[in-house]
Structure 1
Amino acid sequence: MCQYFGLTCGGYKKDIFFDFETSPGNHGVRFRRPLLTVKERERMSQWLVSSAPPKTTLRILSRIEDECERADVTDNIEIHQGPFGAFRFNPIQNEPSLEPAGDIQDIDSSSPEDVVGTGNPYQIHPHVPLSPWSQGMMQLMFDQPEDVPTPPSPGFLDAMMIPNGVGSDMDTPECLATFVPDPYYNNPVSPTSLASSMGTTKAVPQDAVFLLKHYASSVISLMTPFRHSKTPWHVLFIPHTKSCLAALALGDDLSDASLCVFYGTLAISAFSLGGVSKSQTWSEKAVMFNQQAQHYARSMLMTAYNIPKVAKYKSILMALLTMVQVTMFSGNRSHSEYYFLEAEKFIRMRGLKRKKSRKVRLLHHCYVFERIIHESVFICGANSGQRHHVRTAIESSGLGRYSLDSLSFRLSGWKNLHQEMMRVRGQEEGENDLHLERPGFWSNTLYPEIFGIPEPWIFLLSQIIRLGKEKDAAEEEDATHCLSLKDFIARAKTLEEYINHLQPPSLEITHSQLDRDIIQNMLDAMKNALAIYFYRRIHDVDASMLQPKVVAVLECLLRCESTDSTVVHGSAGFIWPAFIAACEAEESSIQAAFTDWFDNSASRSGLSCFRQTLADIQKIWQEKCCAGKSVTWLDLMKRTMPLQQQF
């Protein structure tokens, strides 16, 4: 058909298009994957032919031909309306009518409301004799209960091929997915008998489409400052989740990894909706979806390293990153630690030795960015049992040789940072220096186009974390492998100079002015937060010396808030600089301004991570007030965010 119409064939695939998508590619010709297999369609065709008496068939076809000959050229004649359309014809004399009561619109050009209707567009005469298979089809298509629940969203699946007349219950796709014609049945086919003949299929959650629509239109805007459709969430996560939804609706079997991505995504969206609407129902559904995602995550990890592999590398990594997002957005940072470490183990043992496509590198960049942010504040888990287990597993596997960075965030042997940052890194070093241990320039980095932040900025945060670990190790009894005091001071001075002289890159003209303003404010906030974090983590300077930078971060937050009064794109990227700066705020008015920003962000996004972070900050303010200013931020972090060893 593609050759006949002169089209470039894109192949067959399970896919879903939502009514809110405006991509030009979504309005062209679409070829959908057939609901039935080739053998099933052949059996159905043979059975239909054998069930129609030849004399009756010829008579009906003759009447259709006569009707077409009598019709004017301008008349719009609907002859074929599905596999049974050839046996429908206009009434002649007193014969009952099987024609639609109204015009039947083509599904591709109809509106979502037309695709999934609530009424019955066919007027079926009660005495018209139908074949057993036709009776089964009509029973499934039209015998809908009157009290079918209506989903909370106008979003629909236009790739489901849902016939006109099917009710709006979002579980219907499950019934439609079980259509398997059986020529051996002599009785009308019911949904129960069809489902039992195929085996039990996983039901599609009733609110899945609505939740995916909210995730695509609202939630992902929090993760990136860009409004284009080339982010990892647009390219990988959303298409994969849609494919999972389509597969579930068709009754296909999915891997545990794909089911983890699917239910984890629903959980994130439901958490957001519960926070925005203050609805207990959505919050309960979020917890339920989260539990399902955790179940599939556990099952997935049991077979993640099997040979031959059970699931694709990208699917497993997407599942782990989805669980990281679920735990982070729900404010459960200790559980984030668990999935971060499992992701690190999986990447080092299955990802670094392979040739990496752009999509794989996108996923690796998402992991590294969030992991380094996590590592900067989760400072009390360096010696946890799980971290020891992960390091041991990687080292004993022999795959640690593919890692070009240490497994425990320790410093590399650089001396002149300014000079070594000008060194051009090769492809292998750029890809396999997982946690940015080695200085250098890599032109193929993807951080700027995902998060709007240049790689050197993330590298500097990684170096501060590593130098801070050297400081912690030196304070312990066994410090044989630590830097000398001279080297420590030299490294600290170099990092300080580099941070203070950071220059934001020139933004591409292709970005909108709003995007450029948000990114510029994000970079300014990040630069000041890096300085605050460095002075507190490495030198532990008095908080009064940090107040100008604290105010500078707050001003960046407020400028973004005034620019975009709804949900600031990429606002999740502001949590870290806001947290680092707010912890050091001393004046009550500045503390109140930070409190308002976190409250507003929580209300707009619906995500509890904003309120949970604010609660941690307020604990720090209270401890400072009670214990005096001699208490360091590091001490407060250890007391207010203890590591949970068991998950």
Structure 2
Amino acid sequence: MTSVRAGVHELHESITHTRSFTGCATCRTRHVKCDERRPECSMCQYFGLACGGYKNDIFFDFETSRNDGVRFRRPLFSVKERERMSEWLLSSVPPKTTLRALSRIDEECERANTSDEIEIHRGPFGAFRLNQDQHTLPHDATVNDHEQTESRSPEDMIQSCDLYLASSDMLLSPWSQALMHLTFDQPENVLSPPSPGFLEAMTDQDCVEDDSALSEYLPTSCLPDQSYNNPASPASFTSSMSTTKAVPQDAVFLLKHYVSAVISLMTPLRHSKTPWHILFIPHTKSCLAGLALGDELSDASLCAFYGTLAISAFSLGGVSRSQIWSDKAVVYKEKAQKHARMMLITAYHVTKVAKYKSILMALLTMVQVSMFSGNRRSSEYYFLEAEKFIRLRGLPRTKSRKVRLLHHCYVFERIIHESVFICGANSRQRHRVHTAIETSGLGMYSLDSLSFRLWGWENLDQEMMRVRGQEEGENDLHLERPGFWSNSLYPEIFGIPEPWIILLSQIIRLGKEKDATEGNDTSDCLSLKEFIGRAKTLEDYINNLRRPSLENIHSHLDHEIIENMLNAMQNALGIYFYRRIHDVNASLLQQKVECVLDNLLRCKDTDSTVVHGSAGFIWPAFIAACEAEDPLVQASFSDWFVNSARRSGLSCFTETLANIQRIWQEKTCTNGRSITWLDLMKNTMLLQQLS
């Protein structure tokens, strides 16, 4: 009997019973379980009773403290109350005048004497001095504000605030009283219409995409307007976190610019389901919130955070032509590189220092930092580190959709990089990475070769129609095997079907076979007959490339941009094939060159506000411009790159144009001999100039 009672007691202890203190007034009066549905609970509707609504209260649930460090909060106010508060805050000071109001408060505070009473209000922002007797103040209150900020710990500051709040004669400022009146004095079922100032403020905010999440961590006053015609220096933007040393003062502004302007460089699509909206931006915002709260962040999180700020600062520096932003970008880039080095030390040998997605996002961010700053050698380094990390930590695991999104981002950019950076095939770093993968025992999860060798297909049309399974679709990292995979995410991210990227991968691999043969490395190489047969098959497939259906793209603007991008991509694939495989004279490729230029100009005419900076545009522009011979066509390509550099602010466009102009210059000095980017990349001295 005793054992039975003990068992029942243990069962009772294992089940946590929580009373609902947050139910509606009717259900609590009737002692009925309430589902807390808003605005009326389902139980009251079921029994035909008038729901009494919910009271404003703070609830501490001590019975659920067994959760391992899980932190959560419940809103103190109802949804309608929070909506009224937000409307009042926005209507009191429009976003465009936020900085002006804060500056005026600062100026009036600086002019006031130490003994004067200060009570300044500009909309929801206010500054006032609480006058109390000296003996009632805490001892530390006699220290000036600067010394408090520098010498006192956060714990001491919190304790001092508690002493102030404990005072019974603590007075509320007028704006606080207005908030209290707005919140509690109005009936629950009445929602006052927004003021004209609120409507004006809302119309001024439509230039920023997905900016609502920023307000979770910072007030609207910390999100200054973006004005590129008259750019301001970073020092002019302040935030409520300026007293926190770990948080850069311009972090919010840079993140806002990244969301509104830089993301279009990564993808031509405008929907909010891209990896940058789902993964990169929320991760960066979480890092910003963690720094503001004083949390200890991993090197991977800090690398992604500072790398994102560096990308945005590089863009702002180019757009505004401000050396201040360019210097900031270099500082953030160096910080990101520092955390990247620390991250890679513990990425493989220390367990659970950072999550897989966090490390991979950090590496991909560093790839983007290197690409957008025009450092091709640095991009090569981070591409190889990302490949090593994916093959050792990513391929053996079960892939969620978010992980596959990150893998797709890596593969797409890596194949584009591999198509033009052909001189790094035998670098020491590649040998080190491949050796580490082969000796780890995890190389068996990779279903493709480590050195971009050609897969043994005979009928490419038949192979491309072959359905690939999940394991082959996920673990054929660099798309070595042709086939169709229904779960491919490339169209959702870059607007380009996976078969097109597979085709580019096959051209790269056939080109490596050609280089191996020309380098007298005849071991395990294709015979001449096999090489010609593979080349003919690829040529036929490029010329008869199946166009994807664009029915799922509902926006007419996106439909035209994607259609022009695919046309440019197909013609660039043809140019790349004929140059890389057959080394055809450039005079025979001018029709395709002009078609690519026409598609680029059509996109510009369709929407001049879009920065065509994704690899889907810059890659065909580079491939086609290198072969342009007509001076007018060359000038049009130059204008496109210059305009893209001006609108994006990134040096990758100017660096690419400089490389193209070197090729044009070489063509004028070769007595008619055809020179292309391939010859430029093979020239060691010029390669050093590029890096």
**Is 2:615 aligned against 1:560?**
no
Over 3 Å counting, the alpha-carbon distance change for 1:231 and 1:163 in structure 2 is closer
**Is 2:660 aligned against 1:623?**
no
Over 3 Å counting, the alpha-carbon distance change for 1:641 and 1:292 in structure 2 is farther
> Does the CA-based 8 Å contact 1:461-1:530 persist in structure 2?
yes
**Is 2:656 aligned against 1:637?**
no
SS at match of 2:424: coil
The one of 230, 241, 249 equivalent to 1:173 is 241
**Is 2:89 aligned against 1:110?**
yes
**Is 2:284 aligned against 1:216?**
no
Please give the alpha-carbon distance, in whole angstroms, between the structure 2 residues aligned to 1:248 and 1:33. Answer: 27
Deviations 1:263-306 (A, max 9, x none): 00000000000100000000000011001000001110111102
SS at match of 1:443: coil
Please give the alpha-carbon distance, in whole angstroms, between the structure 1 residues aligned to 2:300 and 2:396. Answer: 21
Alignment of 1:352-501 (within 5 A): 352-501=395-544
> Does the CA-based 8 Å contact 1:468-1:537 persist in structure 2?
yes
How far did residue 334 of structure 1 move? 1.0
Please give the alpha-carbon distance, in whole angstroms, between the structure 1 residues aligned to 2:89 and 2:670. Answer: 67
Please give the alpha-carbon distance, in whole angstroms, between the structure 2 residues aligned to 1:408 and 1:361. Answer: 22
Residue number in structure 2 paired with 1:4:
23
**Is 2:132 aligned against 1:127?**
yes
Please give the alpha-carbon distance, in whole angstroms, between the structure 1 residues aligned to 2:341 and 2:267. Answer: 29
Please give the alpha-carbon distance, in whole angstroms, between the structure 2 residues aligned to 1:268 and 1:326. Answer: 6
> Does the CA-based 8 Å contact 1:553-1:578 persist in structure 2?
yes
> Does the CA-based 8 Å contact 1:619-1:640 persist in structure 2?
no
Query: What is the Cα-based RMSD across aligned positions, in Å?
Result: 3.5
Residue number in structure 2 paired with 1:513:
556
Residue number in structure 2 paired with 1:159:
216
One-letter code aligned to 2:390: I
Deviations 1:18-41 (A, max 9, x none): xxxxxxxxxxxxx9999xxx99xx
One-letter code aligned to 1:347: I
Please give the alpha-carbon distance, in whole angstroms, between the structure 1 residues aligned to 2:614 and 2:685. Answer: 23
Please give the alpha-carbon distance, in whole angstroms, between the structure 1 residues aligned to 2:21 and 2:340. Answer: 40
Residue number in structure 1 paired with 2:642:
599
Deviations 1:413-452 (A, max 9, x none): 1111111111100000000000000011100000001000
Deviations 1:95-151 (A, max 9, x none): xxxxxxxxx984696339769874554755523686647864699999xxxxxxxxx
Tell me the TM-score normalised to structure 2 length: 0.70
Deviations 1:354-394 (A, max 9, x none): 00000000000000000000000001110000000000000
Deviations 1:589-630 (A, max 9, x none): 110000000001111111111110000000011011112332
Over 3 Å counting, the alpha-carbon distance change for 1:428 and 1:106 in structure 2 is same
Over 3 Å counting, the alpha-carbon distance change for 1:641 and 1:377 in structure 2 is farther
One-letter code aligned to 1:310: V
Please give the alpha-carbon distance, in whole angstroms, between the structure 2 residues aligned to 1:239 and 1:32. Answer: 28
> Does the CA-based 8 Å contact 2:575-2:624 persist in structure 1?
yes
Over 3 Å counting, the alpha-carbon distance change for 1:479 and 1:174 in structure 2 is same
Residue number in structure 2 paired with 1:66:
none
Please give the alpha-carbon distance, in whole angstroms, between the structure 1 residues aligned to 2:163 and 2:642. Answer: 53
Q: Which moved more, 1:507-516 or 1:248-257?
A: 507-516
Residue number in structure 2 paired with 1:89:
none
> Does the CA-based 8 Å contact 2:490-2:497 persist in structure 1?
yes
> Does the CA-based 8 Å contact 2:287-2:297 persist in structure 1?
yes
How far did residue 454 of structure 1 move? 0.3
Over 3 Å counting, the alpha-carbon distance change for 1:635 and 1:493 in structure 2 is same
Residue number in structure 2 paired with 1:257:
300
One-letter code aligned to 2:300: A
Please give the alpha-carbon distance, in whole angstroms, between the structure 2 residues aligned to 1:372 and 1:644. Answer: 22
Deviations 1:303-326 (A, max 9, x none): 110242310000000000000000
What is the percentage of aligned positions where both structures have the same residue?
69
Please give the alpha-carbon distance, in whole angstroms, between the structure 2 residues aligned to 1:164 and 1:413. Answer: 60
Please give the alpha-carbon distance, in whole angstroms, between the structure 1 residues aligned to 2:355 and 2:59. Answer: 22
Please give the alpha-carbon distance, in whole angstroms, between the structure 1 residues aligned to 2:476 and 2:58. Answer: 42
One-letter code aligned to 1:556: N
Over 3 Å counting, the alpha-carbon distance change for 1:590 and 1:164 in structure 2 is closer
Tell me the TM-score normalised to structure 1 length: 0.75
Q: Which moved more, 1:262-271 or 1:569-578?
A: 569-578
Over 3 Å counting, the alpha-carbon distance change for 1:541 and 1:206 in structure 2 is same
> Does the CA-based 8 Å contact 1:616-1:640 persist in structure 2?
no
Over 3 Å counting, the alpha-carbon distance change for 1:122 and 1:472 in structure 2 is closer
**Is 2:581 aligned against 1:581?**
no
The number of aligned residues is 525
Please give the alpha-carbon distance, in whole angstroms, between the structure 2 residues aligned to 1:109 and 1:397. Answer: 60
One-letter code aligned to 2:491: P
Please give the alpha-carbon distance, in whole angstroms, between the structure 2 residues aligned to 1:480 and 1:125. Answer: 85
Task: Considering Cα pairs closer than 8 Å and 6+ residues apart, tell me whether 1 or 2 has the greater RCO.
Answer: 1
Over 3 Å counting, the alpha-carbon distance change for 1:257 and 1:643 in structure 2 is farther
Structure 2: runs of 5 or more not aligned: 1-19, 25-34, 39-56, 66-75, 78-82, 106-119, 121-125, 139-157, 172-206, 223-235
SS at match of 1:348: helix
Residue number in structure 2 paired with 1:75:
none
The one of 252, 264, 278 equivalent to 2:321 is 278
Please give the alpha-carbon distance, in whole angstroms, between the structure 1 residues aligned to 2:466 and 2:318. Answer: 47
SS at match of 1:434: coil
Over 3 Å counting, the alpha-carbon distance change for 1:592 and 1:287 in structure 2 is same
How far did residue 565 of structure 1 move? 1.2
**Is 2:594 aligned against 1:526?**
no
The one of 288, 310, 328 equivalent to 1:267 is 310
> Does the CA-based 8 Å contact 1:567-1:605 persist in structure 2?
no
The one of 289, 292, 304 equivalent to 2:332 is 289
> Does the CA-based 8 Å contact 1:334-1:644 persist in structure 2?
no
The one of 245, 262, 281 equivalent to 2:288 is 245
> Does the CA-based 8 Å contact 2:237-2:253 persist in structure 1?
no
Over 3 Å counting, the alpha-carbon distance change for 1:383 and 1:164 in structure 2 is closer
